[in-house]
Structure 1
Amino acid sequence: MARIHEGAWYDPDKGGDLNALCKYGNPNVLTLDIGTSQLAQATSAHTTLVEIEKYTGPIDNVTAFNGPVEMVAQCEYVPASQGNPHD
């Protein structure tokens, strides 16, 4: 059993990569991103089956509070502080 608290912002280690790990622990990466109904649009489940293994890779700094990043053509990762490279 694992208990995961809600409320962490999504902070991917590889921006735009579908296989990115969340550095901050957002539980939504473990469940489907679908609403419960057209009326409620609440999260689909508060339970899910997971496999847990110890992470032994490098630990990156949490950047969830550094502000937004902009995703541009071909999923190129551009930090917001650098502006739009297409201007």
Structure 2
Amino acid sequence: MVFKATKVDGVYDCDPKDNPNARRYESLTYSHVLTHDLRVMDGTAIALCKENHIPIVVFDLSVQGNIVRAIKGEKVGTIVGGFCDVR
């Protein structure tokens, strides 16, 4: 598993700093991240995670306890890999 600590609490459909109506995804496929250029991390890194079936957890580093919660497998942020909750 790859833990991607950021300044926001997951992956959004647009920048939540610019758009208060931005929607946070609970989970995404690698392909959705790549085809929609969601900029979770470098495209090559996403592709490597996809090829090796390594999930990515994107979470807010500034929230106290989030690192521990993520490591314990508790629900924090967005999980990339597997299914996609895009509606």
| Common fold: TM-score over 0.5 | no
Whichever of the two has the greater Rg, that structure is: 1
What TM-score do the two structures reach when normalised by structure 1?
0.27
Larger % of helix: which? 2
What TM-score do the two structures reach when normalised by structure 2?
0.27
Larger % of strand: which? 2
